Structure 1
Amino acid sequence: MPDLAPARSGPLCDDKDEDQLDRWLAGKPIERKVPPLTRRLQRWSQENWGAVTCFLIAMLGVSGIAAHAMQNSVVAQRQLADERAAHATTREQAEQRDEQLRLLVDSAQIKARALGKQLDQARLESRRDLSLRLADEATRLEQAAPQRSLMLAAESVQIARDSRHFPAAGAVQVLFDQLQDQSRLRASGHSDVVRSIAFSGDGTMWASGGDDNRAILHSFDGRRTSIPLEAHWSRVSQVKFSPDSRKLATASFDATICLWDVRSSEVAQSPVVLSGHDERVLSIDFSADSRWLLSSAQAAPGSPSEILLWDLQAKGHPQVTQTLGQHFGRVHAAQLSPDGRWAFTASADGFVQLWRLNPKSGDRMTVAMRAQHGLTDRVCFSPDSSQLVTVSEGSNGECVIRRWQLGEMIRPETIATLKIAPLAADVDFKNENVVIGGQRGELKVVNWNLRTITPVVGHEQRIQLVRFLPDGALASVDQQGLVRRTLLGGKDEMALGVKLPQVTGQIEAAAISADGQWVAVTNEKREVMIRQLDPTILMGVAFDRLQSLSGDVEVIASQPSEERR
């Protein structure tokens, strides 16, 4: 019979078993040792080789399934990544297309707006050309067909106004010429030269003063006739209304100042006489609240000029609260700040003084600054009294413009130096402009912020008056009666110049109302002319005048607007 027992490949006992036998024969304890894990596993696998085989087959199957699943997962991830990349590319392309579309839309809108502006500009230019053609036709027909000329001129001004252009000077000149009765040319009522004209702040009155020792109060509404104010025995040097339009102050060479209550029905019978001066009173100036009055008089030989500060609300009678002296020469400028806390004086001695009201000493004023700045004729305080601008003439005939910051520290700075003799000046603090008028019709506008000097041309005679109007325009009057209304626009300023047709000879005095609507001039023949300065007012008067015409009028202009019919 064959031996079914597995053959042993080695000895019956290994060396370790012999060592255990030797230890037992020697009487030593036998160490029981656990067979190694590998031998145990080997023995277990020999005993359970079928189960191991099944387990290995199962593991191989699971491994295959796992590998297949992993492969499918990798493929799915790759497909998902590809899909995401494709989606990102598509979205990027869509965003690029959207951006290109937006750029095209924006470009189309910009081009449409530019085209619209060009069309609007073309329309405005065509309206401007129509306005100019109507103005030329109105000028041509002024003598032959006055009514048609007036219609054309009014339409020209209306079209220019609607198209945001300045009216043509020819059309406005026709309005001025054809509406002569609107100029209110009259004998002034004076028997000698008129030296001063002033408008009231409320626009209801105006006054004049002259060498015949009289002042005359005039009314705009015609409710009362001109009232002569006779209280001086010498020349009236200046007339000025208080800011509240309740009083009229007249200064005279008889060394007195008269205050007239213009609201009273007996205004000519009740003047308040201020007699604090000893010499000719040259100038007067009110504070903005109408409480304070600053007056200056000519200096007596060897004595300082008299500059007095009056409190018009003192009990009983206006009182002198301070005498400002220290000027040895004719006072060329004496002005109060709007808040009444500063006074500026300048004299022919070349010195200027700035006085500050000291609250700790009542109503008295103290000298804040004294300096030699040359002949200073023009002084303008800002509406908030925080600064002032002075215009001085140097020894070489140059014009020096300074701006003063008023506060605890007074810092005058030189804005500009011009080669022009300053005969007239005004300041526009809002737009930071100063205008200077000269002997030969020069007009220069200085902007102290931009440091620019803009010449304004159009005058050829001595500048008599310059004023910045509330609408920002510049009004100027020369010695021959040429009135110009200029819109300052940098290099392309737009100007309107008209000659006042009724006034002949040299202009002695000129004034412009506070609202900029009226201009008054008087000449050496004692004639006074008051008329509107704004051409749009004359345009309305022209349309109203044409409504009242009877008979057929041939119209070659466009229809007037409803509000003008």
Structure 2
Amino acid sequence: MQTELTSRRADCPLCGTALKRDEDSIRDLWNCHGCGMSIELAQQREPLVEVAPSQPLRADQDEDQLDRWLSGKPIEQKTPPISRRLHRWAQENWGAVTCFLIALLGISGLAAHAMQNSVVAQRQLADERDSHAATRRLAAQRDEELRILVDSAQIKSRSIGKQLDQARLDARRDLSLRLADEATRLELSAPHRSLMLAAESVEIARATKQHPASGAVQVLFDQLQDQAQMQSSGHAETIRSIAFSADGAMWASGGDDNRAILHAMQSQRAAIPLEAHWSRVSQVRFSPDSRKLATASFDATICLWDVRANDVAQSPVVLSGHDERVLSIDFSADSRWLLSAAQAAPGSPSEILLWDLQAKGHPHVTQTLGQHFGRVHAAKLSPDSRWAFTSSADGFVQLWRLNPKSGDRLTVAMRARHGLTDRVFFSPDSSQLVTVSEGNNGECVVRRWSLGEMIHPEVIATLEIAPLAADVDFAQGRVAIGGEQGAIKVIAWNSNVVTPVVGHEQRIQLVRFLPGGALASIDMQGWIRRTNLSGEEEVALGVKLPQIAGQTETAAISADGQWVAVTNDKQEVIIRQLDPAVLMGVAFERLRSIGGGVEVIATKPTKERR
């Protein structure tokens, strides 16, 4: 590069470094040690532009700017880039830059060291977490093993406890049986001792929730004969019907001597003869509220007696709506409605009437049912008074849909030929109906009806037994049928299992499910059996009523299952406790009144009985 300097000392136009002359060159060259540029001295001329020493021409400027400067044209002044300014500042302040770099390196080292320590700490924390998790897993495993051991120990302990309890029960049961055997052996020679042993046997059985031994119950019945209310019924002819009131305070009977008799259970009140019929009384019924007694008669009338009146015999309300003899009556659950059925006259339909007993002025007929051409064997009202079931000797059964409160016309929900149907049972909620019918060949057909908008009768069982007595336990889903020669069968309709109940030899007069699941049965010779059906093994307790002479005519059991009433062909009536627990309490009370000579062999009575 050739140029012309104004003086022998100048600065490089690019980097501003002082130019030095090259002494070894034959030409007049000036070298720049900053950027390496060489300038050859030419003829002397005026500078085209005066470059301020503080603003030299930079090497990183565009080539066209350098060409403009060499050609003598004005150079466009531009602000040097930030990198160049920083580089220049660094050259001018190299000490501060060096300290800054050293400090930065120190900080970086400290940061790296801290980061390394953090990584190590994180690794240690992760290791500790893994160790803690492993410890927890091991602890959980040990807890599970310990829990299994504890459960196993508890199972074994419960098994041993059950075995011990069963052993205790077996021992108590064995003791109860031995006491019953001893009581039976001593019944004639030592009656007081026999009574004590029998009472203790029953008490042990009750304390262990087992069934009392039949021998002990028989001793209680024999030794406490005076607890039976053996008396003359007051009837001069055959007793046709007997019934207990729902509260257990009264019982009534009706017979062929044209009258009914009302008796009190506990008080000394004398029997009250109810004489308002001029023909035989076919049926007696107490209302569910135990306030009224209804008597049906062959004189085509029904009498309602207010049993709580001071003069009961003078308070009959006579219902005269039938033209033939009344055979069946039934109350509704609320004691407001009464369903009655009369025998049909030849060639005319049977009369079945629904009475409103709470009507103003006098009870009257609110609806009339008909279309049976034969004797009506059953007429039953549902508990909610919405259904009525009737059956007749013509072989037809009818289910009636009623609405007695509104007075709407009744409708026949079903009419079918089901044979002779004497036993009809509605469920407490009126949703089901069970009927027991006798077929043409003497077989027993049990049907269960579902009541609703659609009627669905289904056959539960068909048995080779004459249905002389029946009862239904809707809570357990069971039907009991009693027939000839002591045959009793219990049908469970959910499992279709038929269980025979043995113990009777004569014709069954009555079967009845008692509270608690037991079944009471009475045959024609006065044998009463109480059969427990709840356990795996059936235990039947049979006792003979020694006062009954001859054959039984009618029988009834109170609603609570405590009392039984049996009549015979001599117009005698016996009222007796049926629950062995009550007899056991009477026995202890009697033993307590004895002045001496009684020794407790097995277990002493409790403090309450001392």
Q: 2:38 aligns with which of 7, 12, 34?
A: 12
**Paired position in structure 2 for 1:549:** 594
Q: Distance in 2 between matches of 1:277 and 1:43?
A: 138
**Paired position in structure 1 for 2:472:** 427
Is the deviation greater in 63-72 or in 174-183? 63-72
Greater RCO (Cα-Cα under 8 Å, separation 6 or more): 1
CA distance 1:267–1:49, shift in 2 (3 Å): closer
Deviation track 1:510-555 (CA, whole Å, cap 9, x = no partner) reads: 1001121100111223322110011110001111111222331233
Is the deviation greater in 376-385 or in 531-540? 376-385
CA distance 1:272–1:24, shift in 2 (3 Å): closer
- Asked whether 1:326 is paired with 2:371, we answer yes
Partner secondary structure for residue 247 of structure 2: coil
Is the deviation greater in 423-432 or in 55-64? 55-64
**Paired position in structure 1 for 2:396:** 351
Structure whose CA Rg is larger: 2
Is the deviation greater in 245-254 or in 325-334? 245-254
- Asked whether 1:488 is paired with 2:538, we answer no
Gaps spanning 5+ residues in structure 2: where?
1-21, 23-30, 41-58
Gaps spanning 5+ residues in structure 1: where?
none
Deviation track 1:12-31 (CA, whole Å, cap 9, x = no partner) reads: 25999999887656555557
Deviation track 1:307-348 (CA, whole Å, cap 9, x = no partner) reads: 233333445544334432211111110122234333211001
**Paired position in structure 2 for 1:539:** 584
**Paired position in structure 2 for 1:248:** 293
Partner secondary structure for residue 519 of structure 1: strand
**Paired position in structure 2 for 1:92:** 137
Q: Distance in 2 between matches of 1:550 and 1:289?
A: 51
Q: 1:160 aligns with which of 190, 193, 205?
A: 205
- Asked whether 1:79 is paired with 2:105, we answer no
**Paired position in structure 2 for 1:505:** 550
Q: How does 1:71-220 map to 2 (within 5 A)?
A: 71-220=116-265
Q: Distance in 2 between matches of 1:515 and 1:397?
A: 33
| Residue identity in the other structure for 2:512 | R
Q: 1:224 aligns with which of 258, 261, 269?
A: 269
Is the deviation greater in 437-446 or in 141-150? 437-446
User: What TM-score comes out, normalization by structure 2 length?
Assistant: 0.81
| Residue identity in the other structure for 1:188 | S
Q: Distance in 2 between matches of 1:90 and 1:243?
A: 73
Q: Is the 8 A contact 2:32 2:38 kept in 1?
A: no
| Residue identity in the other structure for 2:292 | K
| Residue identity in the other structure for 2:594 | L
Q: Distance in 1 between matches of 2:331 and 2:247?
A: 16
Is the deviation greater in 344-353 or in 105-114? 105-114
| Residue identity in the other structure for 1:12 | S
CA distance 1:43–1:554, shift in 2 (3 Å): closer
Q: CA deviation at 1:508?
A: 1.4
| Residue identity in the other structure for 2:443 | E
- Asked whether 1:288 is paired with 2:333, we answer yes
- Asked whether 1:530 is paired with 2:575, we answer yes
Q: Distance in 2 between matches of 1:462 and 1:17?
A: 138
**Paired position in structure 1 for 2:506:** 461
Q: CA deviation at 1:65?
A: 4.3
Q: CA deviation at 1:266?
A: 3.7
Q: Distance in 1 between matches of 2:172 and 2:410?
A: 59
Partner secondary structure for residue 156 of structure 1: helix
Q: Distance in 2 between matches of 1:376 and 1:68?
A: 105
Q: Is the 8 A contact 1:454 1:491 kept in 2?
A: no
Deviation track 1:353-375 (CA, whole Å, cap 9, x = no partner) reads: 22233358638644333222222
Is the deviation greater in 168-177 or in 423-432? 423-432
Is the deviation greater in 87-96 or in 267-276? 267-276
Q: Distance in 2 between matches of 1:549 and 1:173?
A: 21
- Asked whether 1:309 is paired with 2:335, we answer no
Is the deviation greater in 34-43 or in 240-249? 34-43
Partner secondary structure for residue 144 of structure 1: coil
Aligned positions, number: 562
Partner secondary structure for residue 190 of structure 1: coil
Task: Please report the RMSD computed on the Cα atoms of aligned residues, expressed in angstroms.
Answer: 3.4
Q: Is the 8 A contact 2:244 2:250 kept in 1?
A: yes
- Asked whether 1:379 is paired with 2:424, we answer yes
Q: Distance in 2 between matches of 1:515 and 1:33?
A: 123
Is the deviation greater in 142-151 or in 378-387? 378-387
Q: Distance in 2 between matches of 1:36 and 1:246?
A: 122
Q: CA deviation at 1:144?
A: 1.8
Q: Distance in 2 between matches of 1:391 and 1:313?
A: 32
Q: Is the 8 A contact 2:304 2:316 kept in 1?
A: yes
Q: Is the 8 A contact 1:321 1:364 kept in 2?
A: no
Q: State the identity %.
A: 78
Q: CA deviation at 1:47?
A: 7.9
CA distance 1:428–1:10, shift in 2 (3 Å): same
**Paired position in structure 1 for 2:15:** none
Q: Distance in 2 between matches of 1:306 and 1:457?
A: 41
